[in-house]
Amino acid sequence: MHRSIAGWINHRFMPVLTIVFWVVVIGLLGSTAGQLTDVQENEAENWLPSSAESTKALEAAETFSSPNMLPAVVVYERDGGLRPADMTAAQEDVATFGQRDDIEGEVVGPIPSEDGEALEVIVPLNLGEDGWNKAPDVVEEIQDQAGDGPDGLEAFVTGPAGQAADSASVFEGIDSTLLLAAAGVVTVLLLFTYRSPLLWLLPVISAGVALTVAQAVVVLLAKHANLTVDGQSASILTVLVFGAGTDYALLLVARYREELRRHQRRPEAMAVALHRAGPAIIASGATVAIGMLCLLLAQMTSTRGLGPVAAIGIVAGLAVMLTLLPALLVVLGRWIFWPRIPHYGDEDPATHGLWAGVGRRIARAPRRVWVTTSLILAIASIGIVQLNATGLTTEEAFLGTPDSVKGEQVLSEHFPGGAGAPVVVLARPDNADAVRTTFQANDGIAPQSVTEPRVKGDWAYLEGTLESEPDSDAAYATIEDLRGELDAADPDALVGGTTAVTLDIQDASARDNRVIIPAVLVVVLLILMVLLRAVAAPLILLGTVVLSFGAALGVSALVFRHVFGFAGTDTSFPLFVFVFLVALGIDYNIFLMTRVREEAQRFGTRRGALIGLAATGGVITSAGLVLAGTFAVLGTLPLVFFAEIGFAVAFGVLLDTLVVRSVLVTALNLDVGRHMWWPSALGRKEDVDVGSGPRDPYEEVVPAGADAGPPGP
């Protein structure tokens, strides 16, 4: 950020005009941001790539039924056997269900189980395009009707409608819940960091403005540019804006506080702060945003949609924290820092702080420090072998046991495992009989469950029931086998249904991992090369971040299995954790290394490393705590995926902030020295051995009361 650009804050009326501008923006976009829930697409089939076989099956099946069909499966159970009154009550329920306005077709059942302890009723609901959001109320009505039976007869609603209802209930009100939780965590951490009863308000207000702007832009793109938004990406947007945005605020405020000790006029101090800290903040935000945009390479529509959503959040955070926050700080004056008000001429406490001492200890044996630290991180990475990233069943996906899961358990106990989630096969009419024969012959399909072909236009429609539970490994194997077997009977045959959709999601996620992870590494490496004007340092830094990611993933896998008792993780979990930790982990390296590079030009790399750590250590640690805290908020949601993402990213950020950035990178800077900047001219600037000499090497560079020059962010 050039001085002339940063100097906008020096103009007399610009701070006030900037505040007015953002107030107007919030007034215009506030109502639009509130529509974020309305534009979300949380149905699993909307996440699939258009090339997936189950997607093609869904499109072909529209000839036979509405794409908005959402069947509810009502299962009745009585321990010890059903009674005649139970069958009568279920039949009365069927008649009542059939009178609903949202029924499409015939209500099927009641179908008794072979053991005589359960009944099954299939209610074909058509809830319209917004059916996912309507499902909780409709399912509650059906549950109330079914549950009003004879004493001892239990009723559960499961199937696609029941699962949609439970999922929608989880996401209902999630935006406000996460917003309050994230704001609360940020507030507590800022109070601890600033020890001021007032200063924390400015970053929180600015983060709220950034979130509103980001949500409004996302809503507009969802409505007019076909951007896919789901509850997952909307939730991550909230924590990302609050976490990353507050990080940028911490760095700017810290720099502004330093400059208030060097300048009498507040606007001048802020102009210098923006000039010095702005480039590192912008470079950091750009790295995260571009890293997130690599998700556009994904086949999974939901993953691809997260890329722009997250990038919009980062850009909004940058824009607000580099304009509104500086304006608020300048207008309100020094008193906002009370009781620790920085005065002109005060000494910078960083020169004798905690991180200066850490640097001195590392300087005694930097090679031993980085080798030992790397070995510990590598050993921690071995835990990855415990990571079961093959997906979660419906039962495993929730932290509790919602009604649809209870119903599915009852259904699988008394009926074939796939009851309520049929396998759908679409075939050409001429090959329909041969396809049905092959369909029935598959060992994973209940032969008597395969329906007669229904023919409309270019397609014949068949359904069959899985012998195993629809979200089990055996069910996925059945789908794969069936697809191969049907190719011989009809090369155009398509296999769809709930299990096929889940299988295709897993396959697409695995492909995305293979493509996007290398892409993110290349992008981050190129950005670091441009920013640091070197090759060696970016390669070393990238290696430390990857090592940090491996350790975070390894420890998380062990915690998930042996502490939390989770059965596994979603297939997209490694990719999401990688993108967040690499992009955000590079953030802290950028903040540190830009300062080290600045000081290296004056004092050499080894001494520059000590000065850089001392000057940035406190604020980067605070930023890491804030970011980790906001991601940990995801653990408050009743979904295993969010709990796992929240823990892994929070742990990884803390690991990167406290160990990798402060210890490992500093030790490497001290050991490698000027060669970090190869092949630039800075790589030829001679170093001074900071480990030699009778006095403290850091104090030799920055003696008490001396001005070491303008520090970086």
Q: What is the largest CA-CA distance in the chain?
A: 96
> Is the overall model pTM greater than 0.85, yes or no?
no
Note whether 381 and 551 are within 8 A (CB).
Answer: yes
DSSP state at residue 398: B
| Cα separation, 694 vs 184, whole angstroms | 48
The pLDDT assigned to 372 comes to 95
| Cα separation, 277 vs 275, whole angstroms | 6
pLDDT in tens, 608-625: 888 888 888 888 888 888
The total of other beta-carbon atoms located within 10 Å of residue 81's CB is 10
Note whether 630 and 621 are within 8 A (CB).
Answer: no
Which residues is 121 bridged to in the sheet?
Answer: 74
SS (H, E, C) 473-520: HHHHHHHHHHHHHHHHHCCCCEEEEHHHHHHHHHHHHHHHHHHHHHHH
Give domain limits for the chain: 1-51+196-347, 70-169
Domain 70-169 CATH class label: alpha beta
Note whether 566 and 640 are within 8 A (CB).
Answer: yes
The pLDDT assigned to 701 comes to 39
The pLDDT assigned to 417 comes to 61
Name the stretches of the chain with pLDDT < 50. Answer: 1-3, 691-713
Q: Tell me yes or no: is domain 1-51+196-347 CATH 1.20.1640.10.
A: yes
Note whether 593 and 537 are within 8 A (CB).
Answer: yes
CA 348 to chain centre: 38
Helix (H) or strand (E) holding 209: helix 201-224
- Give helix 498-532 / helix 473-489 axis angle, nearest 10°: 100
